[in-house]
């Protein structure tokens, strides 16, 4: 699961910006991101502070480094993917001494809390008809690591059969059914309940798409399981700007867990018989990641994440892709092997 953080990293490579004499391009050791940086400010082997996309930067830092009013978001304090003179910049690099820090040579040290940096979280789309509680202990907060943070995992997946699905622009959803009949509906960080005689988005899609009955069918198929969790993304009016232009609310499912353990991607085909068009679009099934990239003319995972969305017809760019091995695997520090790659075309078009 995703772990956001401002960390100390080493600059691996600096090279010439093809379209700007006063800028250079940079790459960090062990990461796939590209950065546009001022010429002469960084050198190969230098220890720097890496502020990932979606960092909310405190005002004092912006003032120290001369970026007040120059970032994104309503308060001009959010790091986003941008294009500078036709080149992508996917985060912010700052020399530690500019912030009065003189760290040792440790790579990967976390400075998030020390610097007061937080992660941007899109607002929860809860209606006035909802009452919230803390998440049940069985339902963990769900987010994914980006592929560009884990190039070693991407390389390990190259010759492994994978499932690649479309990443959906919406709001997180989870429903859990226990063996004793307890049924709850949740969003990113909270359980959602209905007020008497009223309804809300989360329960509307739950009833409309018969999620409790489908959860019961899944639970009946696993007699030893104590509970099942169905995870998905809700899209529609007022949700994340309604990117797809839907006139109604819809739930697209991307994961099923029994007793907290996700089912193998190899079982995805079986889920079609239950969920059919309710599943997120499948882009690649059972063949290797290398074959997928070959299909895209041997391009990078980042470039191959671009493309049209399969949720709608017309020129709607997909948010990106999600890659997982066909059989569940874990990786040191990462945990579950499942990575997202957000589309550069989408990021630049939407300013996300």
**Helix/strand/coil (H, E, C) string of 264-318?**
CHHHHHHHHHHHHHHECCEEEEEEEHHHHHHHCCCCCHHHHCCCECCCCCCCCEC
What is the Cβ-side half-sphere exposure of residue 236, based on CA atoms within 13 angstroms? 16
- Residue ranges and CATH numbers for the domains of the chain are 7-119 (2.40.50), 130-350 (3.30.470.30)
Containing H/E element for 35? strand 35-38
pLDDT on residue 127 = 55
Containing H/E element for 94? strand 92-94
Closest Cα partner for 311 from 242, 211, 262, 229? 242
DSSP string, 214-276: HHHHHHHH-TT-SEEEEEEEEESTTSTT-TT--SS-EEEEEEEEETTEEPPGGGHHHHHHHHG
pLDDT on residue 352 = 61
Q: Tokens standing for 136?
A: 């049940």
Q: Which residues of 102-117 are buried (b: 16+ CB within 10 A; e: fewer)?
A: eeeeeeebebbeebeb
Under 8 Å between Cβ of 144 and 2: yes
pLDDT on residue 125 = 58
pLDDT on residue 105 = 76
pLDDT on residue 267 = 85
Per-residue pLDDT of 81-120, as tens digits, reads 888 988 989 999 999 988 888 767 789 899 999 999 999 8
pLDDT on residue 271 = 83
Closest Cα partner for 288 from 162, 166, 147, 164? 162
pLDDT on residue 4 = 83
Under 8 Å between Cβ of 211 and 221: no
pLDDT in tens, the chain (352 residues): 456 899 999 999 999 999 999 999 999 999 989 999 999 999 999 999 999 999 999 999 999 999 999 999 899 999 998 889 889 899 999 999 888 887 677 898 999 999 999 998 876 655 556 788 899 999 998 889 999 999 999 999 999 999 999 999 999 999 999 999 999 999 888 999 888 767 788 999 999 999 999 999 999 999 999 999 999 999 999 888 899 999 999 999 999 999 999 999 988 777 878 888 899 999 999 999 999 999 988 789 999 999 999 999 888 999 999 999 999 999 998 999 999 999 988 987 776 6
Dihedral angle, C-alpha 283, 288, 292, 298, nearest 10 °: 170
Q: Tokens standing for 48?
A: 């720097």
Q: Tokens standing for 257?
A: 């867990």
pLDDT on residue 9 = 95
pLDDT on residue 150 = 93
Distance CA 301, CA 293 (A): 7
pLDDT on residue 335 = 92
pTM of the model: 0.85
Distance CA 131, CA 140 (A): 19
Parallel/antiparallel/unpaired status of strands 145-146 and 338-342 = parallel
pLDDT on residue 217 = 95
| Phi, psi angles (nearest 5°) of residue 227 | -160, 160
Sign of CA dihedral 294, 170, 144, 279: negative
């Amino acid at each position: 699961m995703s772990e956001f953080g401002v960390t100390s990293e080493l600059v691996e490579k600096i090279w010439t910006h093809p379209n700007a004499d006063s800028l250079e391009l940079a790459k960090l050791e062990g990461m796939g991101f590209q950065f546009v940086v001022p010429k002469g400010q960084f050198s190969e082997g230098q220890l720097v502070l890496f502020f990932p996309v979606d960092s909310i930067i405190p005002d004092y830092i912006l003032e120290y480094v001369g970026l007040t009013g120059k970032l994104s978001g309503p308060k001009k304090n959010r790091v986003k993917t941008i294009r500078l003179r036709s080149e992508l910049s996917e985060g912010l690099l700052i020399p530690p001494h500019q912030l009065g820090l003189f760290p040792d040579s440790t790579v990967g040290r976390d400075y998030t809390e020390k610097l007061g940096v937080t992660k941007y979280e899109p607002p929860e789309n809860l209606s006035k008809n909802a009452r919230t509680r803390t998440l049940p202990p069985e339902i963990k907060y769900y987010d994914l690591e980006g592929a560009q943070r884990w190039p070693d995992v991407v390389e390990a997946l190259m010759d492994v059969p994978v499932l690649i699905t479309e990443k959906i622009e919406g709001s997180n959803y989870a429903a859990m059914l226990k063996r004793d009949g307890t049924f709850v509906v949740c969003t990113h960080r909270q359980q959602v309940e209905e007020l008497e005689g009223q309804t809300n988005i989360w329960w509307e899609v739950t009833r409309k798409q018969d999620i409790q009955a489908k959860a019961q069918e899944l639970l009946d198929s696993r007699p030893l399981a104590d509970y099942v969790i169905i995870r998905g993304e809700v899209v529609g009016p007022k949700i994340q700007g309604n990117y797809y232009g839907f006139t109604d609310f819809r739930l697209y499912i991307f994961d099923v867990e029994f007793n907290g353990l996700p089912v193998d991607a190899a079982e995805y085909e079986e889920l079609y018989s239950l969920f059919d068009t309710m599943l997120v679009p499948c882009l690649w099934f059972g063949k290797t990641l290398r074959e997928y990239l070959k299909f895209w003319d041997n391009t990078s995972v980042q470039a191959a994440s671009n493309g049209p969305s399969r949720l709608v017809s017309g020129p709607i760019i997909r948010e990106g892709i999600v890659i997982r091995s066909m059989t569940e695997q874990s990786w040191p520090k990462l945990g579950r092997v499942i990575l997202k790659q957000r589309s550069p075309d989408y990021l630049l078009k939407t300013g996300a």
